[in-house]
């Protein structure tokens, strides 16, 4: 019972700490109704990431908006503008002309563990109710890829904390009140499953959007899949730990280095590669133009090649 009370106190303290960094984002978009443009209002959440007025949110919250308003927990309304969007990660940055804002503390999401308690915070009713809405759950899985039809979002945190559509763009936090992810999607046909973008991805994308207005994303140019016995049998290749190359972008870095479909990538520089997550982490740690030594198994033979990484177009 004492442990239960201690966790309740931790949840309350975490919510109090982060709430001042959570905002409501109201947008107006134009939609066509019988060939006539009609204004459509949307609503979502955001989290303050810099005291000089920078707010991170989901790209789908602000995409196509003609007008944008940010509502703070104290009821203040400020006009906002989008300074950068990245549809590939479903992240965007909104700027308001106000300094001294309470920026959230961003955690190292690579240290997040399955089973860890997390809190989803949003402010979908910011116009009507003071303060955020809060749900609690656990981390159900990490490194999840989410298929949204025309788009595949990679490396997500899966949680059973309830995430409502208006909470998109709000933070997922740990019991210390540190942001570990950004709530972004709910699978409509899978009850009780929510997803969040890892905070390390949010940090990098937001920094690029603020500085450059776009993301400088390093690109290897393959479609990969984590190898296991089932995949090896499906493609009739010898079982080997690593990332199987299912496709290679024509003229991309991997193509120029001689990597081919059916190859299995087992090592990048001096680091073993046992999953797509491992490969992604190593590639994104490099900058466009840098070289990456790649060890590949092809038809049972092992060889190395040097890839010159480029910027994703």
Average pLDDT over residues 91-101: 95
- 27 and 67 in contact (C-beta within 8 Å)? yes
Q: What is the separation of C-alpha 96 from the centre of its chain, rounded to a whole number of angstroms?
A: 23
Catalytic residue among 26, 45, 65, 90: 90
Q: How far is CA 45 from each of CA 8, 79, 181, 192, 241, rounded to the nearest angstrom?
A: 24, 15, 13, 20, 41
* Whole-number pLDDT of residue 14: 93
Domains of the chain: 1-215 (2.40.10.120), 218-311 (2.30.42.10)
Is position 230 annotated as part of the catalytic site?
no
Is residue 303 scored above 80 in pLDDT?
yes
* Whole-number pLDDT of residue 208: 92
Residues 6 or more apart whose CB falls under 8 angstroms from that of 224 comprise 243, 244, 245, 246, 265, 276, 279
pLDDT in tens, 21-58: 999 998 876 555 555 655 556 788 999 999 999 999 99
Q: Which is higher by pLDDT, 267 or 133? A: 267
pLDDT in tens, 152-207: 677 889 999 888 777 889 999 999 999 999 998 656 555 678 899 999 999 999 99
Average pLDDT over residues 217-246: 80
Is position 60 annotated as part of the catalytic site?
yes
Catalytic residue among 26, 45, 60, 178: 60
* Whole-number pLDDT of residue 114: 95
Is residue 235 scored above 70 in pLDDT?
no
Is position 143 annotated as part of the catalytic site?
no
Q: DSSP letter for 167, please.
A: G
Q: DSSP letter for 109, please.
A: G
Q: Which is higher by pLDDT, 129 or 85? A: 85
pTM: 0.77
Catalytic residue among 26, 45, 123, 168: 168
Return the minimum-mean-pLDDT range out of 25-29, 33-37, 219-223, 278-282.
33-37
Residues 6 or more apart whose CB falls under 8 angstroms from that of 150 comprise none
């Amino acid at each position: 019972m004492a442990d239960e009370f201690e966790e309740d106190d931790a949840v309350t303290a975490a919510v109090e700490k982060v709430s001042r960094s959570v905002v409501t984002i109201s947008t107006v978009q134009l939609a066509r109704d019988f060939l006539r443009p009609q204004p459509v209002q949307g609503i979502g959440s955001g989290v303050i990431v810099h005291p000089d007025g920078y707010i991170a949110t989901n790209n789908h919250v602000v995409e196509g908006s003609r007008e944008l308003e940010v509502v703070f927990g104290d009821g203040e309304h400020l006009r906002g503008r989008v300074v950068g969007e990245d549809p590939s990660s479903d992240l965007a940055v909104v700027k308001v002309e106000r300094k001294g804002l309470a920026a959230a503390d961003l955690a190292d999401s690579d240290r997040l563990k399955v089973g860890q308690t997390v809190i989803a915070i949003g402010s979908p009713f910011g116009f009507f109710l003071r303060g955020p809405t809060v749900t609690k759950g656990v981390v159900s899985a990490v490194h999840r890829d989410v298929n949204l039809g025309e788009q595949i979002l990679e490396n997500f945190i899966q949680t059973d904390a309830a995430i409502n559509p208006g909470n998109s763009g709000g933070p997922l936090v740990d019991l210390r009140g540190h942001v570990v992810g950004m709530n972004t999607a709910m699978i409509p046909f899978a009850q009780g499953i929510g997803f969040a973008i890892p905070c390390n991805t949010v940090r990098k994308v937001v920094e690029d959007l603020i500085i450059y207005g776009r993301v400088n994303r390093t690109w290897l140019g393959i479609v990969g899949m984590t190898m296991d016995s089932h995949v090896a049998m499906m493609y009739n290749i010898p079982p080997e730990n690593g990332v199987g190359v299912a496709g290679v972008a024509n003229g991309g870095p991997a193509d120029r280095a001689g990597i081919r479909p059916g190859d299995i990538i087992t090592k990048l520089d001096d680091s073993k590669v046992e999953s797509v997550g491992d490969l992604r982490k190593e590639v994104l740690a490099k900058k466009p133009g840098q070289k990456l030594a790649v060890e590949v198994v092809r038809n049972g033979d092992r060889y190395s090649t040097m890839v010159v990484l480029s910027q994703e177009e």
